[in-house]
Structure 1
């Protein structure tokens, strides 16, 4: 699956990009019809400690799944987003099987 990672307001290092790609690619175990995905990593210049935003968009036939998370670190945000997507993909697969 193709994973596009875009960083907004900062330059992401290669280890962060590799981490994101690895986590997003692991979603293929739960639903094998994923076309591609887009991940946006954003830093808001606020005084809050939780100023990192992770937006994940999975393109799948029929509709897209979009998850937005706000955390202290990008790694934490990506982990929470992939956990949420795993649940959604599992539900979608169960619905298809029930038909």
Structure 2
């Protein structure tokens, strides 16, 4: 699976890119037909501590699964996005099986 990481208005640390790749590659355990994943990292200019936004778009044949998480750190946001995507992918597979 190809993972594209894009940061808005800042440069992404190599460690963060590696972390994101490791996390999202785990999703292939649940569904092997994932085409690619796009990750958009943004920081919101608010006084909140939770101002790191990670938006993950996972492409599967014929569909896109999109999740957006806001947390204190990008790692935390990617972590919770990965958990949510795992559930979404399992549901998606069940839906496909039901129609097959």
What are the ranges of 5 or more consecutive residues in structure 2 without an aligned counterpart?
none
Equivalent-residue separation in structure 2 for 1:23 and 1:10 (angstroms): 21
Equivalent-residue separation in structure 2 for 1:95 and 1:59 (angstroms): 16
SS at match of 1:48: coil
RMSD: 1.0
Question: For residue 45 of structure 1, what is the aligned residue in structure 2?
Answer: 45
Alpha-carbon displacement from aligned partner over 1:14-45 (angstroms, at most 9, x marks no partner): 00110001111110001111101100010112
The normalised TM-score by structure 2 is 0.93
Question: For residue 80 of structure 2, what is the aligned residue in structure 1?
Answer: 80
Count of residue correspondences: 99
- Deviation, 1:96, is 2.4
Question: For residue 92 of structure 1, what is the aligned residue in structure 2?
Answer: 92
Runs of 4+ with >4 A deviation:
none
The normalised TM-score by structure 1 is 0.94
Equivalent-residue separation in structure 2 for 1:10 and 1:97 (angstroms): 41
SS at match of 2:53: strand
Alpha-carbon displacement from aligned partner over 1:71-95 (angstroms, at most 9, x marks no partner): 0000110011010000011111122
SS at match of 1:31: coil
